[in-house]
Amino acid sequence: MSLTNEIIQQRLTEKFGEQVSAFSISYDMLQFEAPKEINLKVLNFLYDDPQLGFIFLTDLTGVHYPDQKGRELAVVYHLHNLKENIRLRFKVYTAVEQPDVYTATGLFSSANWMERETYDFFGINFLGHPNLKRILNVDEMDYFPLRKEFPLEDQTRIDKDDEMFGRG
């Protein structure tokens, strides 16, 4: 029997009950969410369960939802079952005031740099990460550039004035 989105949802619901929620299908990919406190339990279950076998972390990133109070930051995991060639999306949310989520580096080595990048751009603190520091931005940067807290362009820049381009 091949693995389907319905079977994945059933296995997750059997194991975690109402802790896993918001199941939906987007472009034939199952997506769901769980509390950030159990992200490692869910990831381990998806990895270890012989019927599921999601052993490949394709991507890990962050998203900033400034209008969702208490759920402003999301960590999005994309997992792949290589044998059945099926993917899923798993999200955990955290408040911007306490952006702590447990690291997945113990399960997926590839999570190391992806979590560092997510920290660098969104400020999500991955608890237990072996080397959580900025990876692309300078260490002196005191903000997280992919949060939707800043204007898209610095209004004080003079190199963007029309006069600099012969239009003034």
Tell me the sheet residues that pair with 15: none
User: Residue 33: which of 52, 107, 24, 56 has the closest Cα?
Assistant: 24
- Which pLDDT value is given to residue 81? 97
- Which pLDDT value is given to residue 162? 67
User: Residue 22: which of 70, 84, 93 has the closest Cα?
Assistant: 93
Instruction: Classify residue 168: in a domain, yes or no.
Output: no
The amino acid that residue 66 corresponds to is P
User: Residue 72: which of 94, 39, 101, 98 has the closest Cα?
Assistant: 94
Instruction: Classify residue 43: in a domain, yes or no.
Output: yes
CATH code of 82's domain: 3.30.460.80
C-alpha distances out from residue 26 to 17, 23, 30, 133, Å: 22, 10, 7, 33
- Distance (Å, whole) CA 53 – CA 80: 8
Instruction: Provide the residue range defining the domain that includes 145.
Output: 5-155
Instruction: Classify residue 33: in a domain, yes or no.
Output: yes
Splitting the chain (168 residues) into consecutive groups of 10 residues, what average pLDDT does each group show?
93 98 96 98 98 97 96 98 97 97 97 98 97 94 89 68 67
Instruction: Classify residue 83: in a domain, yes or no.
Output: yes
Instruction: Classify residue 95: in a domain, yes or no.
Output: yes
Instruction: Classify residue 51: in a domain, yes or no.
Output: yes
- Which pLDDT value is given to residue 102? 98
As for how many domains the chain has, the answer is 1
